[in-house]
Amino acid sequence: MIKSDLLRGMESEHTLWNPVEPIPKASEIPLLKNVNFHIIKSHKPDIDGYSFLHGIALVWHNDELWASFGHNRGRENTAGEEARGRKSRDSGKSWGDLFTIDPGKDNLAVSHGVFLAHEDKLWAFHGAFYDNCQRVHTRAYLMDKNGEKWQNKGVVVDKGFWPLQEPQKMDNGNYIMAGICVATMWPPAGLPAVAISHGDKLTNWSLVVIQNDKCVYGPIWGESTVIVTGKRIINVARWGSPIALVSVSNDYGRTWNLTHPGNLPMVASKPYAGVLSTGQHYLIGTTASDCGSNQRYPLTIAISRPGEIFFQQYLPHP
């Protein structure tokens, strides 16, 4: 077994997977047992008239599990999109009535977003746009103290930012929220980006767009996620090619090295990452040595060892 200090010595800014461990094929990754699936909202356009349903977010708040998603009677990313959701009182086994966070208005559409439970308050941050995904921005909503009505706090991040991971508190007191900065929807083009709060002021955010280096060519649809470890923040983003893009900040997300292909194959779908209570990094997506066909299955959970930097195994691990 290679010791931690030696592993750190092998690290580059774009290394995701332990270079001395082979990346398994999808068929070699063990299947999680005792997993139950519960439907939050069925896709039933013939019954409810909504042809588009996408972009789930989940959060625990006051012993209830809240969910949100984007809903549209028309096509995805067109005027008419609505931010909607449901909540569960039995840990997700059953779900209550549909609620609407923001139905949009005229040519303003509000789509899927992320939650933040903060100081006994529930916030929601949602991607929004005009017409057919033009002038993309982020709007904030605050649930009232009775848990019945969403208060619209308006635009909090502009210039193309769409949030894709819930805000995470950093050691310097600011929150960081990962997402994408949309340049154009047709053709798809957008760089990975983060929004950084000014302390606990959750209606005041600064946008930081992560630029790409010369190794990243072709269309980029940079849906991204971050792993927060002190002042060091790792951004993992989707590319058009089946490999993860990686960028690192060493100053709490204020500046970043250029995003660059990492050493971990990953299909072109939105990743989700974080740190477990054990100190292990995790990455949810479809990552395997043979995922070059860009098929979005099987869903995998890559993890590191506690306190380690690199991913090097999958859940479940013997």
Q: Which residues of 108-122 are buried (b: 16+ CB within 10 A; e: fewer)?
A: bbbbbbbbbeeeeeb
**Across-strand partners of 130?**
108, 134
Q: Are 225 and 272 in contact (CB under 8 A)?
A: yes
- For the chain, give the percent of residues with pLDDT over 70: 96
Rounded average pLDDT over 39-60:
97
User: Band of the pLDDT at 11, cuts 50, 70, 90?
Assistant: low
User: Band of the pLDDT at 318, cuts 50, 70, 90?
Assistant: low
Considering only 92-101, 102-111, 180-189, 191-200, which range has the smallest mean pLDDT?
180-189
CA distances from residue 293 to 113, 157, 302 in whole angstroms, order as listed: 28, 35, 19
Whether residue 27 has pLDDT greater than 90: yes
Q: Which phi and psi angles does 289 have, rounded to 5°?
A: -65, -20
pLDDT of residue 7: 39
* CA angle (168, 171, 175) in 5-degree steps: 30
Q: How confident is the model over 224-270, as pLDDT tens digits?
A: 999 999 999 999 999 999 999 999 999 999 999 999 999 999 999 99
Classify strands 150-157 and 121-130 as parallel, antiparallel or unpaired: unpaired
- Domain ranges (residues) in the chain: 38-281
- Look up residue 317 and give its two tokens: 């691990």
pLDDT of residue 304: 97
pLDDT of residue 86: 98
The Cα 1–Cα 167 span in angstroms is 36
- Look up residue 14 and give its two tokens: 């774009």
pLDDT of residue 2: 36
Average pLDDT, the chain: 94
Q: How confident is the model over 112-151, as pLDDT tens digits?
A: 999 999 999 999 999 999 999 999 999 999 999 888 899 9
User: Band of the pLDDT at 8, cuts 50, 70, 90?
Assistant: very low
pTM, full prediction: 0.95
SS3 state at 44? coil
More confident residue, 144 or 4: 144
**Residues 81-85: contacts with CB within 8 Å, 24+ apart?**
81/52, 81/109, 81/110, 81/111, 81/129, 82/109, 82/110, 82/111, 83/110, 83/111, 83/112, 83/113, 83/124, 83/126, 83/141
Q: If you classify domain 38-281 with CATH, what class do you get?
A: mainly beta
pLDDT of residue 317: 73
By C-alpha distance, which of 127, 110, 117, 62 is closest to 88? 62
Whether residue 1 has pLDDT greater than 50: no
pLDDT of residue 5: 42
pLDDT of residue 188: 86
